[in-house]
Structure 1
Amino acid sequence: MEEPRESHVLILPFPAHGHIKPMLCLAKLLAAAGLRVTFLNTHHNHRRILPRSPSSSPSSLLRFESISDGLPDDHPRSLELIEELLLSIKTAMKAHLREFLLSKSAEPPVTCIIADGIMSIGIDVAEELSISAISFRTFSACCLWTNFCIPTLMHEGKLPFSDDDLDKEFHGLPGAEGLLRRRDLPSICRSQIESCSFRYFLDETFAMTRACALILNTFDALEAPMVSHLATIFSNVYTIGPLHALAIQSSVGHFSGRSESVGSLRIEDRSCMMWLDSQASRSVVYVSFGSLVKITVDQLMEFWHGLVNCGRPFLWVLREDAIAGEEEESARSLLSELKLTSERRCVVDWAPQEEVLAHPAVGGFLTHSGWNSTLESIAAGIPMICWPQLGDRQINSWCVSEVWKIGLDMKDTCDRSTVETMVRILTEDNKEEIMRSMTRISGLSSDSVGPDGSSSKNLERLIENIRMIDRTS
């Protein structure tokens, strides 16, 4: 009788910071459970993450490999040139993935591919080679369900919008009735339906249904209605979030003894932690717009004056490449001037965000509403001011303010007066009301990753089902 094959999971993230981080958390959890795991990055990101990842690997069962994304080394891979990256993924990178899986680099043979929800090349190649595929969507269940509803909304004439009034109420999204406005929908709904990016992201959404299961970085108590809708599309749905908290709970992603956060592609400036140590409890506003968003000089100065005028100390993550439309030298000069640390402010290029949010001095988070940041803020119990710019973030911020009531929504505006007002509301005027909601939601998050929590149980179920794939193949 033939021996069952050894479980070997290949994890294929979309080549961006916000996608790599949760998928690497999952890779560490699977390896800690005894599964052999290969984490397959692009060469470009492999070089950035490799020096810091192996030292924090839970075991030798986790291996880091890479393939080309098909773009030249000097390509900026920026948001402005996203369509070039998307095209290269569908063509050159797909061919490199097939070649990798057929090579000795994939020994023992891969038995299951967990592909990012916008990396359907993983499902394509898995089907060609008779390998099981699971889709992992790295943003909210709410946003994913909205994307699945887009064709119906287009058929009903609700998309694209008939005029430019983004404050008009939007009806027809099952599970999101109520205070939803056009501007609260994911940014894809504002796109031209003829555009390459619109077609790519919509096609990728429906390609996910060819996978045998869906993994979501969320927890049941947070998004139960949306998860229920998705369960009508996928026969197996595994809600295993917040993944970073599950990794900490499982001792494969703890703070102590590591130099970088799990999956970080940037060098963290830990001097901000010493600055936080000097601040009063819950006094600091933490500001970060993530790894991709760029802001103009005018927006930068509005945020700056709003934060200064509110009178609260603030810690701001301001990347060197964060300023749009400026000459490199003048942008660098401006950033150098702003990054002069004082008693009331600290500005760094990148920060260990999970540790920052867990610090007792932090009392609020001005965020771009990326899903990782949203979950990290929930896990830490820190209320949010949301300034979303793209992707899933518009609907994330709506959930934060209108559904969960754990923060404020400041989308599509950033004048200094509004910034100052929002900070004061979050930290003073409505502080108790928002904190009551946040304490409840944060407690549910903690319960979900506990030993008997829904996310912990769902992870166990996922691991067992991956092993079942190998026994039945």
Structure 2
Amino acid sequence: MGYFRQFPGEELKSKALVPGLEPLKVRDLSKFLTSDPEGASELMELMVQGMKPAQAIVWNSLKELEEHQLPNLTRGFPNRHFLIGPFYKYFPALSSSLLTHDKTCISWLDKQAPNSVLYVSFGSLARVEESQFLEIAWGLANSKQPFLWVVRPGSVKGSEWLEPLPDGFLERIVEGRGYIVKWAPQQEVLAHRSTGGFWTHNGWNSTLESICEGVPMICSPSFGDQLPNARNVIDVWKIGVELENGFERGEIENAIKRVMVDKEGLDMRDGVMNLREKVNICLKKGGSSYSSLEDLVDYILSC
């Protein structure tokens, strides 16, 4: 998942705050999982420079989420900014996924208690080592918490699908308390009454969807925008916890209990429900995204 080994001095430096971008830490600055990191950085620089001459920028976000970052944004990009998100709320039935949704998981969720299930999905790109996959499996098993786990075919290096799981694991653990699918209708899963937490890679779409449906998060970011997204979830909005040491079964079990069982998790749920209400308001007439969309239409018509 893109975790890098660090020596003690480097680890200390990586936890330092980035001046002017607090609460981002050095380790939250975007990195790319590529054989050519220099080339990737140059590409990012070209993208940023290419945005600056634009007359306007449309953002898949909302003012209420980004208020603390807007001053820096407008200083760096002297364009018109239109925050009209979350986009998927305009067309919630649409999905850009190329993978087939396994809708049987919804029937399984229907049988579970409210807010009891941890939904686990790391998106459409991430791949893990077999050793990491096994730590995830035992962390889920040891938590004693119901879970819906998306294991994308080919996402475990060297395996087609679930082959690395120990003999009997599916029968002993999954059939009693968990459900594993190759892909899930994520928006429907997050909106389900039984879903109480989301273990995510913190891609922006997944992060926004979790907020919009009022679901607290366990954060496992690895590259790109996932790192700063997770930092906002943990330290700004305070609606999630971080797995700081990659995938280790004891830390995974502890994180699941913090989000799903402990009082800390109840506080996070209250916080994310608060944000969810702000999202609902921003999309209504007079709300920030609604008004920004109207301004965007007027701006286009005036050009």
TM-score, normalised to structure 1's length?
0.58
Query: Hey, what does 1:219 align to over in structure 2?
Result: 62
Gaps of at least 5 residues in structure 2 are 3-8
Higher Cα radius of gyration: 1
Conserved? CA contact 2:214–2:272, under 8 Å: yes
Conserved? CA contact 2:18–2:25, under 8 Å: no
Query: Hey, what does 1:435 align to over in structure 2?
Result: 269
Letter in 2 for 1:253: P
1:238 aligns with 2:82: yes
SS in structure 1 opposite 2:135? helix
Sort the Cα spacing of 1:397 and 1:166 in 2 relative to 1 into closer, same or farther, 3 A: farther
Query: Hey, what does 1:318 align to over in structure 2?
Result: 151
Query: Hey, what does 2:6 align to over in structure 1?
Result: none
Conserved? CA contact 1:294–1:322, under 8 Å: yes
**Which of 48, 67, 71 is the equivalent residue of 1:228?**
71
Query: Hey, what does 1:390 align to over in structure 2?
Result: 223
| CA distances 1:269-311 after superposition (whole Å, capped 9, x unpaired) | 1010001001111100000000100011111110111111111
SS in structure 2 opposite 1:165? helix
CA distance in 1, matches of 2:166, 2:283: 41
Letter in 1 for 2:236: V
Query: Hey, what does 1:253 align to over in structure 2?
Result: 92
1:415 aligns with 2:248: yes
Conserved? CA contact 1:320–1:335, under 8 Å: no
Q: Give, in angstroms, the shift of residue 185 of structure 1.
A: 2.3
CA distance in 2, matches of 1:332, 1:427: 25
Query: Hey, what does 1:453 align to over in structure 2?
Result: 287
Query: Hey, what does 2:25 align to over in structure 1?
Result: 181
Letter in 2 for 1:181: K
**Which of 132, 145, 148 is the equivalent residue of 1:299?**
132
Conserved? CA contact 1:363–1:383, under 8 Å: yes
Conserved? CA contact 2:130–2:164, under 8 Å: no
Letter in 1 for 2:256: V
Query: Hey, what does 2:47 align to over in structure 1?
Result: 204
Query: Hey, what does 1:379 align to over in structure 2?
Result: 212
Query: Hey, what does 2:5 align to over in structure 1?
Result: none
SS in structure 2 opposite 1:442? helix
1:164 aligns with 2:10: yes
Q: Give, in angstroms, the shift of residue 240 of structure 1.
A: 1.0
Larger RCO (CA under 8 A, 6+ residues apart): 2
Q: 1:64-143 counterparts in 2 under 5 A?
A: none
Conserved? CA contact 2:134–2:165, under 8 Å: no
Conserved? CA contact 1:383–1:407, under 8 Å: yes
CA distance in 1, matches of 2:37, 2:122: 29
Q: Give, in angstroms, the shift of residue 327 of structure 1.
A: 5.1
CA distance in 2, matches of 1:182, 1:390: 13
CA distance in 2, matches of 1:323, 1:431: 30
Conserved? CA contact 1:389–1:411, under 8 Å: no
SS in structure 1 opposite 2:149? strand
Conserved? CA contact 2:119–2:199, under 8 Å: yes
SS in structure 1 opposite 2:148? strand
SS in structure 1 opposite 2:68? helix
Conserved? CA contact 1:339–1:348, under 8 Å: no
Count of residue pairs brought into register by the alignment: 292
Q: Give, in angstroms, the shift of residue 433 of structure 1.
A: 1.8
Letter in 1 for 2:132: Q
CA distance in 2, matches of 1:222, 1:364: 20
Query: Hey, what does 2:142 align to over in structure 1?
Result: 309
| CA distances 1:153-174 after superposition (whole Å, capped 9, x unpaired) | xxxxxxxxxx632554434442
Letter in 1 for 2:224: G
CA distance in 1, matches of 2:292, 2:166: 47
TM-score, normalised to structure 2's length?
0.88
Q: Give, in angstroms, the shift of residue 192 of structure 1.
A: 9.7
Letter in 2 for 1:185: L
| CA distances 1:413-440 after superposition (whole Å, capped 9, x unpaired) | 2100000000001112212221222122
Letter in 1 for 2:85: G
Q: Give, in angstroms, the shift of residue 391 of structure 1.
A: 0.6
CA distance in 2, matches of 1:377, 1:363: 10
Conserved? CA contact 2:117–2:196, under 8 Å: yes
1:283 aligns with 2:122: no
Q: Give, in angstroms, the shift of residue 242 of structure 1.
A: 1.3
Question: Percent identity of the aligned residues?
Answer: 33
Considering only aligned residues, what root-mean-square deviation do their CA atoms show, in Å? 2.6
CA distance in 1, matches of 2:28, 2:207: 16
Gaps of at least 5 residues in structure 1 are 1-78, 81-162, 255-260
